[in-house]
Amino acid sequence: MVSYENLKSGYERNWANLQIRPARLGEASATARKAINGKATYQQVERLSGVPWYFVALCHYRESNFDFDTYLGNGETLKRVTCLVPKGRGPFASFVDGAVDALRIQHFVGTQDWCIARTLYRLECFNGLGYHAKGVNSPYLYGGSTLYGPTEANAGKFVADHVFDPNHVDSQLGTAVILHAMMSQDSSIAINDGPSIASHSEPDEDVASSVLLMQQTLNKLGANPPLDEDGISGPKTKAAVSQFQQQHALADTGLLDGTTIAAITRAGMQPVRTASIDLSQILKRLDDISQVVQPGGATPALAGMTSGGQSVDLSQILSRLENLAQLIQSGATTPTPIATPSTATAPLAQTIQLPKILSQLQSLTQALQSGATNPANPTTAASTTVSVLGQLLSLITRTVPGTAAAANPAPADQLKQLVDLLGTLLGNKPVLGQVNGALGETIGKLLDGKKTALGIGGALITALLSAVSATPSAGGLAGLLGTIASAVPGLSQFALPISLALTAWGVLGKLEKWAQGTAPPPKPTT
């Protein structure tokens, strides 16, 4: 963990060795004068916050080049609510109001230790500590001095978010350089150059442990890019917090307020669920489809295929899809043997396989739409297979990383649907429509093709029973029917409507199948 105590000696050493480059002396002096010209306004901020006026001036220079119509936290206009992190601040009536707000959310208000090392540390935290990991003195502090850039020191700059260019030299003057020039023009700026021993914990240090815990939790939740666990709420941490707030319907500020800390803590406490899925079911379905599609029904050469719930990775499913594509497109009688790669596939490799599987499914769909037929069952329309493949394609699309979806089901549910759809494709049986599936998949399949017969039979039996009267002397079948009819009063009043409704349901289901083109072909007569 990067901390002030770890970096303090480096700040003190750099300040002692700081020299402004001769070519930048004039610019540094002019910039220092601009900062001093705004001293009265900066001192108003100091009286309200306790933050030294020169520190406010230096932050103001780097954020908006001394523009008093801007917010100190990010340089946006004071007249509108801020859109950059920190988001949702303002509008503010004056620069002073906005500056106090920016310093407060950085936890600088109430700080007392302003030695040179602490001052430089806080200035760099305002921009981020990423340059330490690159072995470069931050241009935010040392730009324009011999401590940054060739030939005396290393160059480099973050030219975009998380993009570091080691050959780029920042042309803007650093805040330590301007402070050095300000002190030469204003003797009232007195900074203790020696090491400090704070008598109490500073406000920004008090929150460091909470920030560190939130950084660790966000990394556990998959922060991208991963956060430096340094206890400092810098630009990267604020961006990650903002992303978390957007994903969890919180106020998007980029700040670790109480509500956000509680939400991150709750999310981090939830166990990461990794479903244990038997992918061999999908693999076997694909092998069976290859046998059906293959002319003559010959058994394809399947290398390494075993039964009994073997461990399978996505590359095996991909190889089966490639083999199936060859069968459909070329009509070959002997497909290419399928190689079975190692099952110890890393999660990253599994993620890479998903787009490839998606591409293969798209190719299969195009091949089927272009006129390919299923030789094992020529009576089934190709459009039915294309429809099922389309559903399978849509399902896998929602599992590919980076694809937006309103509500993603659990991985176990997704793969179950994959198995079911592949089973449907294999059996050439379309998914039940709205009429036949009105009472669910299980009951719908149970009654599929039987509703009309059951309804007509029920109506006839009900009419027969209602016409029979029970007589003591009746025997045999007539006596039995009479006993049943008399045991159920008003039988025809409720049984007959149910039977007729079942008949009507069956007729509607058949009409639906004819409309979809999925009705079974007529049986040949001898």
Q: Which two tokens stand for residue 429?
A: 């049986």
Contacts of 367 by beta carbon, 8 Å cutoff, 6+ apart: 325, 328, 329
Same domain, yes or no: 227 and 171: no
Domain carrying residue 58? 4-184
- Which residue from 180, 175, 137 is spatially nearest to 157, judged by alpha carbons? 137
Which of 13-17, 59-63, 454-458 has the largest mean confidence? 13-17
Residue 265: give its domain's CATH number: 1.10.101
The first and second tokens of residue 298, run together, are 């010959």
User: 425 lies in a domain?
Assistant: no
Residue 490 has pLDDT above 70, yes or no: no
Distance CA 230, CA 239 (A): 15
User: What is d(CA 311, CA 445) in angstroms, rounded to the nearest whole number?
Assistant: 32
| Number of Cβ within a 10 Å radius of residue 487 | 9
**194 lies in a domain?**
no
Mean pLDDT of the chain: 74
Could you list the beta-strand ranges (E) of 66-117.
none
Residue 174 lies in a domain: yes
> What's the average model confidence in pLDDT over 434-442?
63
* pLDDT tens readout for residues 153-197: 999 998 887 789 999 999 999 999 999 999 999 999 988 655 455
Site of tokens 């040949």: 524
| Residue 89 located in a structural domain | yes
Asked if the model's pLDDT at residue 342 lies above 50, the reply is no
Number of residues that make up the chain: 526
Half-sphere exposure of 266 (CA within 13 A, CB side): 8
| DSSP structural state of residue 519 | S
**Does 104 share its domain with 217?**
no
Percentages of the chain per state (helix, strand, coil), in multiples of 5: 55, 0, 40
Predicted pLDDT at 375:
41
Vertex 49 angle, CA 46 and 51, to 5°: 55
State whether 163 and 211 are in the same domain: no
Coil, helix or strand at residue 74: coil
pLDDT of residue 53: 97
Amino acid at 480: L
| In a shared domain, residues 147 and 219 | no
How many domains, the chain?
A: 2
